Amino acid sequence: MEILGYIASLFIGISLGLIGGGGSILTVPVLVYLLGVGPVQATAYSLFIVGLTSLVGAFPKYRQGLVDLKTAVIFGLPAIASVYATRKFIVPAIPHHLFSLGNLEITKSVFIMVLFALLMLAASISMIREKKEETGISEQKMTYNFPLILLEGALVGVLTGLVGAGGGFLIIPALVLLSKLPIKMAVGTSLLIIGAKSLIGFTGDLANSNMNWTLLAVVTSLAMIGFFLGNGLSKRVSAQKLKGGFGWFVLAMAVYILINEIFLQ
């Protein structure tokens, strides 16, 4: 299982580099089911792995002119503040036992995994239903709907803090709709936002948990290698078709997690 976990770590990066998102949705299940990390700890590890991989991946996008720094700051600041507060204060405050439904005990770990599975369902539907990019969207003049951008950033930050996912499938549409960014620019900008908010959110866990830095280093290194492999493949393979297939895979994983956490405990 451990070897499978390390192989899957490569695919975390490959999906990030190939389709511009979705990789973070794999990180927590890989850590929990293949590498034996507890769900709460896995969400913290995921922030580090996804954050560092995304931040490194943002550099080539920036060199290609596909990162809008102003948008990253406007969207990123509320996301960074809320993800840090969530990891520092909210997650530690969640009690171990929440409530019971008959014989089913809803613990903190079960709650986080079920919430994560619901996020995976939303992400999979988004990837399966996503239409081909509109060519006209790149010709629109960039504008900023500041109230909605700030609100969306804060909500994505809280969600990221709770489940440890980067939230690229939420950020990219928000940047396109609320900032009128071209889709390729939105993908590059989202990598910078995900990297910054995830790593800063991770610092909120440093005082609350003992980190397995060896495991983090190995998984993060493999994810980075995967990112650059995926980024290279993206120039040869239709990312649009792959995104649909990956969406169905994520959907199947979400159903498995829900069944495992609710019915097989």
Percent pLDDT > 70 in the chain is 91
Q: CB atoms < 10 A from the CB of 229, how many? A: 16
* pLDDT of the residue at 36: 92
pLDDT in tens, 1-26: 789 999 999 988 888 777 666 667 78
167-183 b/e with 16+ CB inside 10 Å = b? Answer: bbbbbbbbbbebbbbbb
Is residue 174 within 8 A of residue 75, CB to CB? The reply is yes
**pLDDT tens digit string along 159-179?**
888 887 777 777 887 888 888
Q: How far apart are CA 244 and CA 241, in angstroms?
A: 5
- Count of domains in the chain? 1
Cβ–Cβ under 8 Å, residues 223 and 49 = yes
CA nearest to 192, candidates 179, 212, 175, 214: 175
Task: State which residues form the domain around 125.
Answer: 2-262
List phi, psi (to 5°) of 82.
-75, -35
Cα distances from 71 to residues 20, 136, 177, 218, in angstroms, run 17, 20, 12, 32
Average pLDDT of the residues in 181-190: 84
Nearest to 43 by CA among 2, 51, 263: 51
Whole-number Å distance between alpha carbons of 232 and 90: 39
What's the pLDDT band for 45 if we cut at 50, 70, 90?
very high
pLDDT score at 134: 44
Residues in the chain: 265
Residues 6+ apart with CB under 8 A from 165: 24, 25, 27, 28, 46, 50, 116, 119, 123, 159
List pLDDT tens digits, range 61-98: 899 898 999 999 999 999 999 999 998 899 889 899 98
Q: What is the pLDDT of residue 131?
A: 55
Q: Using CA atoms, how far apart are residues 25 and 18, in angstroms rounded to an integer?
A: 14
Handedness of CA 146, 166, 123, 58 (dihedral sign): positive
State how far the Cα of 149 lies from the Cα of 157, in Å rounded to an integer. 12
pLDDT tens per residue, range 128-143? 876 544 444 444 566 7
